[in-house]
Structure 1
Amino acid sequence: MDFKFTKSERIAQRVLVESGLDDPTEFPIEDIILGRNAFYEEKKLIGKEGEIVSVAGRSIITINSNIKFESKKRFAAAHELGHYEMHRKSFPVIFDTEEDLLNWYKAGPLETEANEFASEFLMPSEIFYNECNNKIFGPNIIAKLANRFKVSKTAAILKFVTRGNHPVVIVCCQDNKMKWWKASHDFRYFLEFEKDKTPPDGSVAYELFTTKKTYLEDELKQQIWKSDWLRMKNDDEQDTKFYEYCLHVKSFNYSISVIWED
């Protein structure tokens, strides 16, 4: 697959090569960080998921020991490694909250670059695409990708939108308000999106925020209609079936909806 890579993604690829890694799941992330001449530690942090402090040519990456899930801890560590590789000379102290790590397409340039680095470092694009190629898209694919690369489902979804094998659009909402969206390059429909507006009442996201209804297992893939999220060509166009997988991030009352057509 012929991908176009950002500068941050290319730096992640270089670090993988220099570290002698074909697959980053082969070694613990803390060992990789130590191999890059940075010190790694875990301790309780207040209001932060991770931080990096660089003084006199030495850097310490600290990850919040209160993070419950190893997949989330791995991404936070890879994110800080991205800051180390790209930003330590210009910014001696950088810290990141959970919200910084979630807001991929809303954060400032430093956080966007660190997220892109972490995503490519933990889920190399070529391997990621091969893992989902020739498979029918659905929530089960996201779960398998998350398990394969030892990342969260959120991280797997955000990677899939740029490196997956099926056209999708994702919409991030918080507190029943739409915040940002991202479509894969081959998604050919127009999303009806207005920042801070309530998600459409036919959507799974709207149902989540207004009724607290969540779906599990075989019900994760919910049938919706094109008109629920997407612009119709004209009044005569016949509505068609689409699907929505809505992942709820309880800590910040976020949802990430994946919308697609079979």
Structure 2
Amino acid sequence: MSLAKYHANSVIKKFSIKDLPVDPYRISKEMEIEVVEDDCEGYTGMLLVVAGQALISVKSSIREYPKKRFTVAHEMGHFSIPEHITEERYFFQCTDKDLNTFDKKGGREAEANEFAAELLMPEDIFKEKIRLKDLSYNLLQDLTSEFETSLTATGIRFSELSGDYALVCSENSCIKWLIKGDNFPFYVRGEGKLANESIAIEFFRGKKLPKSFETVPAFAWLDDYKLKGDMDVQELSIPLPYYDQVLSFLYMEPREEDEDDEYLEELDGYPRFKK
């Protein structure tokens, strides 16, 4: 268990959190952390700790309440995780970029996001909600409503915990970031322009996107030597018009090994060719 997840679960247990949606404002109050909104410039959320007293400031112009909730939980993460607050560093000013940093190389900001995700969408509860369910537009809407989290945060959580999906965020027709479940079988491109064969590109051309998974050529999203020319990927792309972004969920249907596959198997990282 990671450090961020451990401390989020400690908070969940300490305050006996069982009901949804989890209320980060109430928890902050019980932790004696003051939460205010401000017309702050240059950051989305801030944590300031002086003489043991903590203050969280959230940008008042944030339109979506779920994003405000996640911002509060993110700053709570900085407060709760040891070594985030030290004598040398007693405040954090976190931007939208920080709140979208989920790569483990993202350091303290990634840890604070992991803390927030675990606090607002506890793993055990979330897994039970998605157990034996296939991802769909309606399921995502139900989850965002029940957990009172943004579509982005909910989608990332689903992709990580289900393990079978990849999630790609695109902006201005280019890939911005991606999250890949542990069971997703192929390498997903993490940068560059969207392929013309993708569904997501249609949003940036002013077209309406379908609210269902559609079949597209695998090469539209994937870049892997194990791909065959006839492989497809299932794509569900959901627009975020306010941010001029698209979230694209990718899924590969399981398929049996083909007798004509180029590779018989892969051992120790080296491909074995058929004779």
Shared fold (TM-score, shorter chain, > 0.5): yes
Work out which of the residue numbers 24, 27, 35 in structure 2 matches 1:29: 24
Tell me if structure 2 keeps the 8 A contact 1:222–1:243: yes
What amino acid maps onto 2:237 in structure 1? C
Q: When the two structures are aligned, how many residues end up with a matched partner? A: 250
- Structure 2 gaps of 5+ residues are 254-275
What amino acid maps onto 1:152 in structure 2? S
Query: Which one has a larger percent helix, Structure 1 or Structure 2?
Result: 1
Identify the residue that residue 90 of structure 2 maps to in structure 1: 92
- The 2-side partners of 1:99 and 1:231 are apart by 26
Q: Percent identity, aligned pairs only?
A: 26
Question: Is 2:47 the partner of 1:52?
Answer: yes
Query: Given the superposition, is the C-alpha separation of residues 249 and 110 from structure 1 closer, same or farther in structure 2, using an over 3 Å criterion?
Result: farther
Query: Given the superposition, is the C-alpha separation of residues 96 and 214 from structure 1 closer, same or farther in structure 2, using an over 3 Å criterion?
Result: farther
Query: Given the superposition, is the C-alpha separation of residues 246 and 142 from structure 1 closer, same or farther in structure 2, using an over 3 Å criterion?
Result: same
Work out which of the residue numbers 166, 169, 183 in structure 2 matches 1:169: 166
Question: Is 2:10 the partner of 1:18?
Answer: no
What amino acid maps onto 1:258 in structure 2? F
**CA displacement at 1:206 relative to structure 2:** 2.2
Question: Is 2:239 the partner of 1:248?
Answer: yes
Of structures 1 and 2, the larger Rg is shown by 2
- Structure 1 gaps of 5+ residues are none
RMSD of aligned Cα (Å): 2.3
Question: Is 2:112 the partner of 1:120?
Answer: no
**CA displacement at 1:102 relative to structure 2:** 2.2
Query: Given the superposition, is the C-alpha separation of residues 133 and 115 from structure 1 closer, same or farther in structure 2, using an over 3 Å criterion?
Result: same
Query: Given the superposition, is the C-alpha separation of residues 89 and 231 from structure 1 closer, same or farther in structure 2, using an over 3 Å criterion?
Result: closer
Query: Given the superposition, is the C-alpha separation of residues 24 and 136 from structure 1 closer, same or farther in structure 2, using an over 3 Å criterion?
Result: closer
Say which SS state the counterpart of residue 175 (structure 2) adopts: strand
**CA displacement at 1:251 relative to structure 2:** 4.8
Tell me if structure 2 keeps the 8 A contact 1:174–1:253: yes
Note the alpha carbon deviations across 1:154-182, whole angstroms, 9 max, x for none.
Answer: 00111011112x61112222322223322
Say which SS state the counterpart of residue 48 (structure 1) adopts: coil
- The 2-side partners of 1:18 and 1:129 are apart by 21
Equivalence map 1:157-196=2 (5 Å)? 157-164=155-162, 167-191=164-188, 193=189, 195=191
Identify the residue that residue 64 of structure 2 maps to in structure 1: 69
Identify the residue that residue 222 of structure 2 maps to in structure 1: 230
Tell me if structure 1 keeps the 8 A contact 2:20–2:146: no
Say which SS state the counterpart of residue 21 (structure 2) adopts: helix
What amino acid maps onto 1:245 in structure 2? L
Identify the residue that residue 145 of structure 1 maps to in structure 2: 143
TM-score by length of 1: 0.86
Identify the residue that residue 201 of structure 1 maps to in structure 2: 196
